[in-house]
Amino acid sequence: MKLSDLRVQNGMRINTKVQSTPSMTFERLRGFRDMFPEDAEPKFFMLNLADQVASSFGFQRIDMPSLEPLELYKLKSGEELVSQTFSFVDKGGREVTMIPEATPSVVRMLTSRKDLPRPVKWYCYPKLWRYEEPQSGRLREHIQFNADIFGPNTPDADAEIIGLAASILDRIGLEGEYSVRINDRKLMESLLKVMGTEDIMATFSVIDKFKKISREEFTSQLEERGFPEGRIPDLIWLMENPGDFTELRSSIERVVVMDENLAGIIGRLEETLSLAGKYTNSKLIIDFSVVRGLSYYTGIVFEVFDINGEFRSILGGGRYDNLSKLLADQEIPAVGFGMGDVVIEMLARRQGLWNVPNRPIRFSVCVASDKAREYSLDISLKLRGAGHIASMDISRRSLSAQLKNASIQGYDYAVIIGNRELENSEVTLRNLSTGEQESMNESIMLEKAGNLKK
């Protein structure tokens, strides 16, 4: 044994040599993903499209820590969400969690600054973590695009946040493949009071399950919570008859007598939907079964579903004017939405959109002789400087091996440089799809590269 394998502890020499162990095979954890290039490229292409659309609306990108105090989520969402967190006590004795959603962090950031002019329009796409049972469309880790407007409590702000969500989906190529299902929490609270229920939140908890349970079970649960038995058919009729916002007033008048409060809420919702319809040709539907975040939302709420009903919700959001008061004792109206990447990927794959269209031409610079290596690097740098993708051989393999590898990796053209090209200050440009090739000087090659198409 070497002296370097020993250390002294409490006056005794301890063997610190690492014992060799059999090789181990590690697999990814359940509910998590590996993203190889063929999946990462289209995913981040779509996130970049969302980034471009949000920027065009005047939204600004932010980011936040992946770790937050657990108390932040206890205040916002209570024990149900906290039970789903990846949380622990850190080395400083603090209860912390990997963030399960973005909004509390965004509001924490907003309320920490007093100098921000309103409205504040922010977006981000953090990774989020929840310890839930993995299932179709839901994992324990995902990326979420999140957008919020802080300041104005107006139909215009509500319409713009819906319009942003729809515009992103349309930009991805999904126009007409989804519907936006919209409701209003204030409207539902007023309706339920007129119908005679005393426990609004308990009734909301049953309505939230309307599409997941039988009508018999729905009726039974309403009765258990004290909902007037004679009004249950009216409530079920509303749940079963979603429609265009132009039908909203007549639908309400079918089940209750309109009063001034209801008329005001409906008027605002009609104005919001009229404005939101300017952003997209996809369907905007009033759906009385959409209530979302039972103790969280304060006004308009919405969810987006594919028109075939094949997947779970693509995205969801709404108005939440009380969160800043709860977290920082500041009153800041807010409306926003979150869109996870899991369902959007499933829908994009179904529609044949899981790709990177109009991807830049990719060049593989193949070095056919060691003498030409520096010249090949010069050519690679010039191609990149002109905005092209150029990967130069760094393995020092044979030319045939380089060409084979370039073809397998999906490069469009090979730029071949050997002794002859070096002597004549030329390159040989080969189309890897057709095998056609042509020798030319570098300036002509750079000009040609700018005009090439797949």
- C-alpha to C-alpha distance for 295 and 190, rounded to whole angstroms: 16
- 8-state DSSP, 130: -
Top mean-pLDDT range of 18-32, 68-82, 148-162, 239-253: 148-162
**pLDDT computed for residue 293 by the predictor:** 75
**pLDDT computed for residue 21 by the predictor:** 58
**Which residues fall within 8 angstroms of residue 76, CB to CB, at 6 or more apart?**
103, 104, 296, 323, 326, 327
- C-alpha to C-alpha distance for 122 and 112, rounded to whole angstroms: 15
Specify which residues 301 forms β-bridges with. 183, 318
418: Cα separation from own chain's centroid? 47
Mean pLDDT of 271-290: 96
**pLDDT computed for residue 96 by the predictor:** 96
Q: Is the pLDDT of residue 1 over 50?
A: no
**pLDDT computed for residue 11 by the predictor:** 46
Lowest-confidence segment of 22-36, 48-62, 154-168, 263-277 by average pLDDT: 22-36
**pLDDT computed for residue 9 by the predictor:** 47
Mean pLDDT of 426-437: 96
Q: Is the pLDDT of residue 77 over 90?
A: no
**pLDDT computed for residue 6 by the predictor:** 47
Is the pTM for the entire model greater than 0.85? yes
Q: Which among 435, 378, 439, 370 is positioned nearest to 399, based on CA atoms?
A: 370
- C-alpha to C-alpha distance for 367 and 397, rounded to whole angstroms: 9
CB 146 within 8 A of CB 270: no
**pLDDT computed for residue 158 by the predictor:** 98
Q: Is the pLDDT of residue 116 over 50?
A: yes
Q: How far is CA 364 from CA 381, 397, 408, 411, in A?
A: 12, 13, 11, 6
**What pLDDT band is residue 3 in, cutting at 50, 70 and 90?**
very low
**What pLDDT band is residue 8 in, cutting at 50, 70 and 90?**
very low
Mean pLDDT of 394-422: 96
The rounded percent of the chain whose pLDDT value lies above 90 is 85
**pLDDT computed for residue 25 by the predictor:** 85
Q: Is the pLDDT of residue 76 over 90?
A: no
**pLDDT computed for residue 15 by the predictor:** 54
**What pLDDT band is residue 12 in, cutting at 50, 70 and 90?**
very low
CB atoms within 10 A of CB 257: 8
**pLDDT computed for residue 454 by the predictor:** 63
Mean pLDDT of 65-86: 86
Q: Is the pLDDT of residue 230 over 70?
A: yes
CB 243 within 8 A of CB 257: no
Mean pLDDT of 343-368: 93
Mean pLDDT of 285-296: 87
**pLDDT computed for residue 22 by the predictor:** 62
**pLDDT computed for residue 107 by the predictor:** 96
Q: Is the pLDDT of residue 432 over 60?
A: yes
Q: Is the pLDDT of residue 10 over 50?
A: no
Tokens for 433?
Answer: 């799809």
Identify the structural domains of the chain with CATH numbers, from first to last: 37-350 (3.30.930.10), 362-449 (3.40.50.800)
Mean pLDDT of 328-332: 93
Average pLDDT taken over every residue of the chain: 92
**Which residues fall within 8 angstroms of residue 42, CB to CB, at 6 or more apart?**
348, 354, 355, 356
Mean pLDDT of 415-435: 96
Mean pLDDT of 400-409: 96
